[in-house]
Amino acid sequence: MHRPLTRLSKDSVQNMNEIFELRGEYIALCDLLKTTGIMETGGIAKQFIADGNVLVDGQVELRKTNKIRAGQVVSGDGFEIKVVAA
């Protein structure tokens, strides 16, 4: 599953590779970053996304509540989250 880590900013994210087991149809991008511990809060996650620091399937994603589904990969400088069905 995933382990919670405290991450505050782009500069503090360091080589984190996670597999996130998705229960349900989707999770909002900002919630995924918070749930996996990439960001400490949803507000920080939203700003991180708005600043263009997050890629979804290799493309910059600026929509904070983009629906992330099983099979997608969310990444950024120093982290990668592979989303799989639970």
pLDDT of residue 13: 53
pLDDT of residue 14: 58
Residue 6 is assigned to a structural domain of this protein: no
| Alpha carbons 86 and 77: distance in angstroms, whole number | 26
Residue 7 is assigned to a structural domain of this protein: no
Low-confidence ranges of the chain (pLDDT < 50): 1-12
Structural domain boundaries enclosing 31: 14-85
| Alpha carbons 3 and 19: distance in angstroms, whole number | 10
Contact 78, 9 (CB under 8 A): no
* Phi, psi for 22 (deg, rounded to 5): -90, 125
Residue 18 is assigned to a structural domain of this protein: yes
Answer whether 0.95 is exceeded by the pTM: no
Q: For residues 16-42, b (16+ Cβ closer than 10 Å) or e, as one string?
A: bebebebeeebbbbbebbbbbbbbbee
Which residue has tokens 């910059």?
60
What whole-number percentage of the chain has pLDDT above 90?
80
Residue 4 is assigned to a structural domain of this protein: no
Task: State the alpha helices, DSSP H only, in 36-82.
Answer: 42-50
CATH of the domain at 55: 3.10.290.10
pLDDT of residue 80: 97
